[in-house]
Chain A
Amino acid sequence: MIVTRSPEQEQFGTSLHDMLAAADVPGAARRWASGDWPDGLALWRKLAGAGVTALAVPERWGGLGASPLDTVVACEELGHHALPGPIAESVAVIPGLIAALADTAVSPALSDALPRLAAGDLIATLALPPWLPYAPDADVAGLVLLAETGTTETHAEAGTAKDAVVWLAEPGARHGSVDRARSLFEVSGREVLARGPAVADAVAHALQAGALASAAQLLGAGRALLAAGVRHAGQRIQFGRPVGAFQAVKHHLADVAIGLEFARPLLDAAAIALAAGDRAAARDTSAAKVACTDAARRAARAALQVHGAIGYTEEHDLHLWLMKVRALAGTWGSQAEHRARIMAELTAPDAPPWS
C-alpha cells in the first residue's frame, strides 16, 4: 500500500513555509556567511518553537518522536528557504544517533543532549567519513561528534560495515564551502562514546537519515529555484516580450518541473521505508538522494540560465540557493557512491522487491 503525505504533514510544511517566507532568511544567510550568526540562530529558535528540532528526538527525552516523513517535510521547507546551519546533522541525524547509543554511551557530554536538542537549546553536528568528511558548521554547534566505520571497507559498503565507533570530537581546521553560509571543520576524536556492531547499525541508520534529509533540502531548494526562474522569466523583457514566452526557455523550465515532480515520490518512499525499518531503506534513501540531487542541479542550471548575468552576481539572492545545491549535492554520499549502493542492493541475492 502506498502511503502519501497526510493533510497534517502538508499543513506542517505550509506553516513552516509561511513562517520562513515572513522572515528575512536570505538576509540572515548573508550575515551568517560573514560570521554574524544571531539572526540565523533566531530562526533556528523559531523553528524549535514550531517543533522542528524536536521531530527526531524520541518522546522519552522530550521530543516528538515523529516519523522520518515528518522530518523530510521539514527539511524540504528549510531547503526551500536556504536556511543556514547544520540542518541534516542536527535535526535529522544526531537525535537518532544519540538515542540509539543511549544504553551504551554514558558520558556527561551526552547526558542532557537530547532534551536540549529537542528544545532548540543545542545545535549539534558530526563528521562521518568518507561520506561526510568534515563536520559542517561546527563553529555554531555545542556538540560535535565523529562517527567512524571500519577502515577497510569501500565507500559503497560503508553503510553495512559491521564495526563502528562514535567519538566525542574536537573541531580543528576550518575550510570554507562553496556555499559561504556553511563552514567545514576537520575533527579529531577526543573520547570514545560507543563502539561495536550495535554502533555500526546506528551509524548505518545515521547515514540513511543524513542522505534523506539532505535529499529533502535539495528538493526544496530545487523548488525555490524553479519558482525563481519562472518569476524572472515572466518579468524580464527582451525583444519586446517576456523571455518566458520563448519556447526554449519554457522547455528548460518544464524539464525542471518534471525532474522535481518525479523525485519527490522517491523521497517520500525512502522516508516510509526508513520508518518501517524496511530492508529496502538503504536502496530507497540512495535513490532519493540521487534523484533529488539531479533534479535540484537541473533546477539550478536552468534558474541561472534564465536569469542571465544578474543571476551570476552576489547582489542577487539566487546564488544562495545555487551554491547550497552545489554543496549538498556531494554531501552525505556522492552520486557515484549512492548509485553504487543501489546497484549492490539490486543485484544482491536477497534483493528487496519494489517498495
Chain B
Amino acid sequence: MNEFRAEVRDWLAAHVPAQPLPTVDTAAGFAAHRGWERELAAARLSVVSWPPEYGGRGASLLDWLVFEEEYYAAAAPVRVGQNGLFLLAPTLFAHGTTEQRDRLLPPMARADEVWAQAWSEPGAGSDLAAIRATAARADGGWLLSGTKTWSTRAAFADRAFGLFRSDPGAERHRGLTYLLFDLRAEGVTVRPIRQLGGGTGFAEIFLDGVFVPDADVVGVPGEGWRIAMSTASHERGLSLRSPGRFTAAAARLVELWRRAGDPADTAMANRVVDAWIGAQAYRRHTFETAARLADGGTLGAESSLGKVFWSELDVALHETALDLLGPLAEVDGLPGADGRWLDGYLFALAGPIYAGTNEIQRTVIAERLLGLPR
C-alpha cells in the first residue's frame, strides 16, 4: 500500500463519525457537514489534488482516485462542498484570474463558503443553451434577473455559479456569461424544493436585479458557454466520476449477499456478480483514463460513455441491495450498513438525469464518437 493511501485510511479510521451525520438537507445537518469539511481541511485532505497554496497537496490524478476509494470505503460523510470542489474549482483553475483563485479557493477548501450550482432553468434542462435568465450591464458589474432551478445545495449554501444571457441579440450559444453570485444578496429569493424522498437537496432561485461586481465574472463576458463546457468533462468533475462510490457499494453488496442471500437464488446471485463486474470495470477504466490524462491526453465526448455507465450501474447496485433486503428495504432508518441502501438508492435515481440526461449522452456518443448523422 502506498504511503498516501495508508495515511488517508488511518486518518479516516480515526475521524469518520461513528454515527452518520444528520442529513445534509436540514440546517443542522448542513452545519454538521460543514464542520466535517473543516476537519478534513485541517488535515489538508479536503482538496488533495489542488496546489498547496490553496489548501491542497498537489496530488496526482491517480492519488486523488486513491483518496476517493478510501473515502467511500470508510463510509465518510457526503461532501457538502462538492459543487464548488468538482465543478467550479476546475473552471477557476482553467479560466479564473489569480485574484479570483486567491479569494475564492481557500474558503471553498474549508467550506467557509459552500457553493451551489445554478445551471438549469424552468425552460432550460437538457437544452441548457435555452437559458433565459439575464445579466444586464450596470455600473461596475451586472444585474442578474430570472429563475434558476434544481440548484443542488442552494437551500443552505452561501454562493452560487451559473450562466446568464448577457447579450440577448446573440446566437443562443453565444452571449452567455459565467457569473458568481451571493445567495444572500439583495434581490435573491431561494425556495427549497422537496425531493421525492422528502429532503430539500435542491432549490429554486429567483433573481430580481441582483448586483454582481465585474470581479465575479469568470472569463470573458459572452464566452460563458465555452467556459462552462470546457470543464464540463473535466477529469475531476462529474464525468470522470471517481469509482470509489461504486466499489465501496459493490463490496458492501457482496457482504450483504454473504449474510442475507439465498445460495439457491442464482438469478439474484448473478445480479450481485454483475454489479461487482460493473464496479470493477468502471474502476479499471477510470484508472486507465487517469493514466492517459497524466501522459498528456485529453478527455472529450468519450466522457459520455462513462456517465451513462456509472449512473446505470449505481441504480443497479442499489436496486439489487434493496431487493436482497426484501421486506426490510422500505424501512426508513435501518440500523448499521443496511440503513445506507435506501438513501443511496434515492441518490442514485437522480444520476441518469443530472449532468446531461443519459438520452443526451447517448446522442452525443452516437454523433460525436460513432459519427452517425445528425
B369 is an interface residue with CB less than 8 A from chain A: yes
B196 is an interface residue with CB less than 8 A from chain A: no
- Is A241 a contact of B373 with CB atoms below 8 Å? yes
Secondary structure of the A contact surface, majority rule: helix
- Is B370 a contact of A245 with CB atoms below 8 Å? no
A-B contacts, CB under 8 A, total: 115
A244 is an interface residue with CB less than 8 A from chain B: yes
- Interchain CB contact (< 8 A) of A347 among B258, B291, B302, B370: B258
- Interchain CB contact (< 8 A) of A234 among B266, B274, B373: B373
- Is B276 a contact of A254 with CB atoms below 8 Å? no
- Is A253 a contact of B372 with CB atoms below 8 Å? yes
Q: Could you tell me which residues of chain B, from 266 to 290, have a CB within 8 Å of some CB in chain A?
A: 266, 269-270, 272-274, 276-278, 280-285, 287-288, 290
A191 is an interface residue with CB less than 8 A from chain B: no
Interface locus among B314-322, B326-334, B359-367: B359-367
CB within 8 Å for A251 and B366 given contacts A234-B371, A339-B270, A354-B283: yes
A266 is an interface residue with CB less than 8 A from chain B: yes
- Is A266 a contact of B373 with CB atoms below 8 Å? no
Interface locus among A82-90, A165-173, A175-183, A255-263: A255-263
Chain A, interface size: which category?
35 or more
B287 to chain A, nearest CB (A): 4
B368 to chain A, nearest CB (A): 10
B338 to chain A, nearest CB (A): 18
B374 to chain A, nearest CB (A): 7
- Is B363 a contact of A343 with CB atoms below 8 Å? no
- Is A244 a contact of B372 with CB atoms below 8 Å? yes
For chain B, the count of residues having a C-beta within 8 Å of the partner chain is 42
- Is B254 a contact of A347 with CB atoms below 8 Å? yes
- Is B269 a contact of A287 with CB atoms below 8 Å? no
Chain A, Cβ-Cβ closest to B310: A262
Across-interface contacts of A250 in B (CB, < 8 A): 362-363, 366-367, 370, 372
- Is A346 a contact of B372 with CB atoms below 8 Å? no
A1-30 to B contact mask, C-beta < 8 Å, 1/0: 010100000000000000000000000000
- Is A251 a contact of B372 with CB atoms below 8 Å? no
Across-interface contacts of B258 in A (CB, < 8 A): 347
A310 to chain B, nearest CB (A): 18
A47 is an interface residue with CB less than 8 A from chain B: no
Give the distance in Å from the alpha carbon of A233 to the alpha carbon of B370 in the complex. Answer: 11
Q: Could you tell me which residues of chain A, from 212 to 232, have a CB within 8 Å of some CB in chain B?
A: 226, 230
Across-interface contacts of B371 in A (CB, < 8 A): 230, 234
Give the distance in Å from the alpha carbon of A241 to the alpha carbon of B277 in the complex. Answer: 39
Q: A230-B372, A346-B276 are in contact. List 18 more A-B contacts (CB 8 A).
A: A2-B288, A4-B288, A230-B370, A230-B371, A244-B366, A249-B372, A251-B359, A254-B361, A254-B362, A254-B363, A255-B362, A258-B365, A265-B281, A265-B284, A266-B284, A290-B273, A342-B277, A347-B257
| 3 tightest Cβ-Cβ pairs between the two chains A and B | A250-B366, A265-B284, A254-B362
